[in-house]
Amino acid sequence: MANQSQSNQPEKGKGVILREAVSFLAGVYLLLLSPDQSCAVTATWYANVGDCTTGYNIYYRVLGVQEWEGPVVINGIETTVATFNVPPGTWEATITAWSDYCYDAPMAYVESDMAPIVPFIVEPETCVAVPLGLEIQ
């Protein structure tokens, strides 16, 4: 599990800026329940253009729990969709941008601050993930 306050976490907020334009949404994804009752959740966001972004990290946790799970590591800035599995329940997720290479040269790993947290519910009967505050019609 990841916790941004642990000392083994990358240094936050230096060198990589996660722009306000990066919008993180817990996407809606339908999948049959597997024996372990986990459901696929698809996250989408806008690419972080410019800067020296190398990839993204998605963190998720049960709503109200301090410890983050993940990260789901996404290499490359063009990738703006990722799927991860969680059991049914109420969750929240966020994304960061990271870099270890800039202007054709390696650099020390840096990770941005977390984007605004998006809460979502994974329905146990259908395995549909719905961002809190939205309804499926």
Confidence of residue 129 (pLDDT cuts 50, 70, 90): confident
List all residues 6 or more positions away from 119 whose beta carbon is below 8 Å from its beta carbon: 63, 90, 91, 92, 131, 132
Q: Distance between CA atoms of 18 and 59, rounded to whole angstroms?
A: 15
pLDDT, tens digit, for every residue of 98-123?
999 888 888 899 999 999 999 999 98
Q: Give the pLDDT score at 132.
A: 67
Task: Spell out the domain ranges in the chain.
Answer: 25-127
Q: Which CATH architecture has domain 25-127?
A: Sandwich (2.60)
pLDDT, tens digit, for every residue of 59-79?
999 999 999 998 999 998 888
Burial of 25 (0-12, 13-18, 19+ CB in 10 A): middle
Global confidence as pTM: 0.70
